[in-house]
Amino acid sequence: MKAAILKSFGAPLAIETLPEPLLGTGEVIVDVVAAPVLPYANEVFSGERRYLLTPPVAPGCGAVGRVRAVGPDATRLAPGDWVFCDPTVRSRDGGLSPDITLQGWSARGEGGQRLQKHFHHGSFAERIRVPTENASPLGPLDDAEAARWCALVTLLVPYGGFLKADLRAGETVLISGATGNFGSAAVAVALAMGAGCVIAPGRNETVLEDLKRRFGLRVRTVKLGGQEEEDRERMRRAAPGPIDCVMDLLPPSASTLPVRAALMTVRPYGRAVLMGGVGMLGGAGLELPYPWIMRNCITLHGQWMCPPEAVLRMASLVRSGLLRLEEFDVTAFALDDANEAVTHAAAHGGPFKLTVLRP
């Protein structure tokens, strides 16, 4: 099968042939119809992000496609079914603390790297082998719709965080990093889940205005000035009342100052979720005050990706019309043009922009 292969960090993707994936028990082979190209893919492939990914590999984080073959233990999936391939692969012998790899993208620790050796190649290929539980049915689709469903890769990240924080209808949420790719998706997800108000801070006034235009009065934007105490007060004043939940999705390039400014707006007994990349490349620590956390009974969650059931729940949000994939502008590339797709994704990585490969 044809695939785009990362032979070494810093090298362009090579369009070559890989052996066909072999089907085993507990596995599904999927014909990839559309694969998302994340805006920071160039940083992963250059080695800048220092992700645990072992070349040579066909990279790619998630896919939408049709089932080609299923293992003997599959009882619901059948060839031809439309599925979303969740890249978050968990070890089945991990009990309460499974090892995790993001198939074709990264891994967590030594155990995740061992798991990556088997589920090695990602979605920049004509076919992909995934664990049965990672092939989530989407129901009937037109081929032309597949590319837009790749937005689930972005939307599922904040969704996982909100599920961890037990977000409830009517609550006020603050999204740290709201003008970014994942942060803007978090705004859409929070509203779809019933948030009464979303506070969206950022420095990009154009994006802030666009968020208000897209989502109306339930979104309140805040222009940040870079002074921690002043920004924190601006965010608090923008809220209609106490802030119940704060989510941080800032990238590795951000400092800890805006993270702390946002997190400490949360009300006593509130929840905060860390899902961004701050600190991954070094730098100062977050340094949240111990007395503030303890005396205000703050619940602080760290969340990487989303739980297994999140894909099916999110598909229901989309099917019901609560979450609109039409918000995303899609640009598609052929597999042969994978390097051009990576360049395009980096240059057009703003909110609600989606670059995909169509193998």
Instruction: Tell the burial category of 66 from Cβ atoms under 10 Å away from its Cβ (0-12, 13-18, 19+).
Output: middle
Q: What is the pLDDT of residue 328?
A: 96
Two tokens, residue 111: 């155990």
Q: What is the pLDDT of residue 134?
A: 97
Look at residues 262, 271, 83, 258 and name the one whose alpha carbon lies nearest to residue 166. 271
CB-based contact 237:210 (threshold 8 Å): no
Q: What is the pLDDT of residue 282?
A: 80
Residue 285: is its pLDDT beyond 90? no
Higher per-residue confidence, 251 vs 126: 126
**Which residue ranges form the domains of the chain, and what is each CATH number?**
2-151+328-358 (3.90.180.10), 157-302 (3.40.50.720)
Q: What is the pLDDT of residue 94?
A: 77
Band of residue 200 on the pLDDT scale cut at 50, 70, 90: very high
Q: What is the pLDDT of residue 349?
A: 87
Q: What is the pLDDT of residue 119?
A: 96
Residue 213: is its pLDDT beyond 90? yes
Q: What is the pLDDT of residue 16?
A: 97
Residue 308: is its pLDDT beyond 90? no
Q: What is the mean pLDDT of the chain?
A: 95
Half-sphere exposure of 230 (CA within 13 A, CB side): 5
* pLDDT, average across residues 322-343: 97
Q: What is the pLDDT of residue 348?
A: 93
**pLDDT per position as a tens digit, 91-112:** 999 788 999 999 999 998 899 9
Band of residue 283 on the pLDDT scale cut at 50, 70, 90: confident
Q: What is the pLDDT of residue 151?
A: 97
**pLDDT per position as a tens digit, 154-166:** 999 999 999 999 9
CA 205 to chain centre: 24
Band of residue 222 on the pLDDT scale cut at 50, 70, 90: very high
**pLDDT per position as a tens digit, 140-198:** 999 989 999 999 999 999 999 999 999 999 999 999 999 999 999 999 999 999 999 99
Please report, rounded to a whole number, the percentage of residues in the chain having pLDDT higher than 90: 92
**pLDDT per position as a tens digit, 25-80:** 999 999 999 999 999 999 999 999 999 999 999 999 999 999 999 999 999 999 99
Q: What is the pTM of this model?
A: 0.93
Q: What is the pLDDT of residue 220?
A: 98
State the pairing for strand pair 127-131/106-107: unpaired
Q: What is the pLDDT of residue 279?
A: 86
